[in-house]
């Protein structure tokens, strides 16, 4: 069975069994019908995924890995903040009439800074350090820019990455302030696992561990029946996932350069209501 399934079920069991309910509290999110979107939440979740063993794709249901990777390329490779550069509609609710999500996500990664080794943005700085100073303890990014929060369509949920090389393996810590377990958990894990694989390949390294730190991991009230159904489903072995070995530059990767084989998974769970 997939270790991603085991971790997902363990997290959901903890949230539903021991989490804190925000019912009757003052909450910001709401459903399309105007009702408050309450959650059951837990604080300080830390999950570890060893990419040298398997790629963490959920098998309890299918994760749309192509759309997930397309989004991470939109943010980290295109450094775009416009939904017209994205091949899905997941950001439509936070975009203005021109398609912009403001100074959020990709915009922040594209801002140049005067590093000691030259003026470059955060992504290029990571790539430069992995090539030139791979054992540095300062290889990191952060897109939670307080000066620009008021001009963001959505304040970043996954906001920082710290990269660390051990031997010939590239590891990373993903910090996330908030996560909708049903809609986003495996989506985010797949995205940043893919990012780690791409950075490792173009730096002559192997993908190691992704450590996912979530401050507020929650299940929305209307998602509980779906989560409970998923937890009882059959689990399948993790699929085989590899990259096109011919790609040498991070900026040359496309979704088609990810080869996913033997991906068995459960049936869809139906339309997932989204809290706004």
Does 233 carry a binding-site annotation? no
**Residue that has been written with the tokens 């992995």 in this structure:** 130
Does 2 carry a binding-site annotation? no
For residue 119, the cross-strand partners are: 114
Tell me whether residue 125 is exposed, middle or buried, using C-beta atoms within 10 angstroms of its C-beta: 0 to 12, 13 to 18, 19 or more.
buried
- Retrieve residue 29's tokens: 């999110």
**Residue that has been written with the tokens 């797949």 in this structure:** 190
Q: Compute the distance between CA of residue 111 and CA of residue 269 in angstroms, rounded to an integer.
A: 39
Does 28 carry a binding-site annotation? no
Does 175 carry a binding-site annotation? no
Does 137 carry a binding-site annotation? yes
12 is catalytic: no
Note every long-range contact of 240-246, with CB atoms under 8 Å and residues 24 or more positions apart, other chains counting: 240/55, 241/55, 241/57, 243/197, 243/198, 243/201, 245/201
Does 33 carry a binding-site annotation? no
Q: Compute the distance between CA of residue 267 and CA of residue 255 in angstroms, rounded to an integer.
A: 23
Does 220 carry a binding-site annotation? yes
Does 265 carry a binding-site annotation? no
Does 249 carry a binding-site annotation? no
In 80-222, where do the E strands start and end?
A: 113-115, 118-120, 139-142, 158-166, 169-180, 206-220
- Retrieve residue 152's tokens: 């963001």
Does 61 carry a binding-site annotation? no
The catalytic position among 157, 211, 247, 274 is 157
Break the chain down into helix, strand, coil percent, rounded to 5: 35, 25, 40
Taken in order 167, 58, 70, 176, the sign of the CA dihedral is negative
Neighbour tally for 131: CB within 10 Å: 11
Residues annotated catalytic, as ranges: 157
- Which residues are part of a known binding site? 64, 137-138, 177-180, 188, 218-220, 275
- Which residues are part of a known binding site for dUMP? 137-138, 177-180, 188, 218-220
């Amino acid at each position: 069975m997939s270790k991603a399934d085991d971790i997902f079920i363990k997290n959901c069991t903890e949230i539903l069994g021991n989490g804190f309910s925000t019912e009757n509290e003052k909450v910001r999110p709401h459903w399309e019908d105007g009702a408050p979107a309450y959650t059951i939440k837990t604080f300080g979740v830390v999950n570890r995924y060893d990419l040298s063993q398997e790629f963490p794709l959920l098998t309890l249901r299918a994760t749309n890995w192509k759309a997930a990777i397309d989004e991470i390329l939109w943010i980290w490779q295109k450094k775009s903040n416009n939904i017209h550069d994205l091949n899905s509609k997941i950001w439509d609710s936070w975009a203005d009439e021109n398609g912009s999500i403001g100074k959020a996500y990709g915009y922040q990664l594209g801002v140049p800074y005067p590093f000691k080794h030259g003026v470059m943005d955060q992504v290029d700085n990571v790539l430069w350090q992995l090539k030139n100073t791979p054992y540095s303890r300062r290889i990191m990014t952060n897109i939670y820019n307080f000066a620009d929060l008021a001009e963001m369509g959505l304040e970043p949920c996954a906001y920082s990455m710290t990269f660390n090389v051990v031997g010939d393996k590239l590891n990373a810590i993903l910090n996330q302030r908030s996560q909708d377990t049903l809609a986003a958990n495996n989506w985010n894990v797949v995205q940043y696992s893919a990012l780690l694989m791409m950075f490792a390949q173009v730096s002559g390294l192997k993908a190691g561990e992704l450590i996912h730190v979530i401050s507020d991991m929650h299940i929305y009230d209307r998602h509980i029946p779906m989560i409970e159904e998923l937890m009882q489903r059959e689990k399948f072995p993790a699929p085989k996932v590899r990259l096109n070995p011919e790609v040498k530059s991070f900026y040359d990767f496309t979704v088609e350069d990810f080869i996913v084989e033997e991906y068995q998974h459960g049936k869809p769970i139906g339309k997932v209501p989204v809290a706004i």
